[in-house]
Each structure stands twice: as C-alpha cells, then as structure tokens.
Amino acid sequence: MDCIFCQIAKGEIPANRVLENEHVVAFRDLNPHAPAHVLVIPRRHVANVASAEAADAELLGQVLLACKQIAEETGVAGSGYRIVLNNGPDAGQSVDHLHAHVLGGRHLDWPPG
C-alpha cells in the first residue's frame, strides 16, 4: 500500500510527532491553519469514516481520546478547539486514511469552509 499516513505511522516517513501510542500517531500539520494544528491518525489503515465498521468503534474512540490529549498538551483545551474529520474529496479529504485535525490557538469562525 502506498498510503503516506501508513508510512508515517510505521516510521518510514519522518513527521513532527507530538503523540503516539499503540492505536494512533499524532503529528503537526505541514500546512497549519491555526497556531495549534495537529493530525491524529490511526495506526491501522481505515480510509475514512464512511468506510469504518462496527469493529472499528474502539479505534475511532482512540482517535477522539488522542484529540483530547493533543488539545490539553498544546494548551488549547481551556480556550476551545475544533476537531475536523473530512470524509471524501468534496469535504476536502486529500489523503485516503482517516485523520482528525485538531485546530486551536485562535478564534475559529463558523461556519467553516
């Protein structure tokens, strides 16, 4: 598989990692849209939320728990942060590996996009 996020999870491609455990890897986005912008990916390949199955429930929960931890460690938990999960090309998903964006450190307008 040629998935860039799978390669990052395996350590084959370097990334500015801020968290990793047996379930997820989190690293700073190369093109940040906020002072805190971290991507959280599952180590196991799941293309996106639409392709997730009931058996992936624990893994999806681990992604969200890692988002919470990233917000705490980057200092944005108190002021607020956004978790974004893009699903498919029209939503802006550019890598077909489920990933959550954790954004914070500034006021985030609504609606996005």
Separation of alpha carbons 44 and 65, rounded Å: 16
Q: Is the pLDDT of residue 2 over 90?
A: no
> Does residue 109 belong to any structural domain of this protein?
no
Catalytic residue among 23, 99, 101, 107: 99
Separation of alpha carbons 49 and 41, rounded Å: 12
In three-state secondary structure terms, 102 is strand
> Does residue 111 belong to any structural domain of this protein?
no
- Residues 27, 15 contacting (CB under 8 angstroms): yes
Is 97 designated active site?
no
> Does residue 65 belong to any structural domain of this protein?
yes
CATH of the domain at 80: 3.30.428.10
pLDDT tens, residue by residue, 8-66: 999 999 999 999 999 999 999 999 999 999 999 999 999 999 999 999 999 999 999 99
Domain that holds residue 45: 4-104
pLDDT tens, residue by residue, 74-94: 999 999 999 999 999 999 999
Domain count, the chain: 1
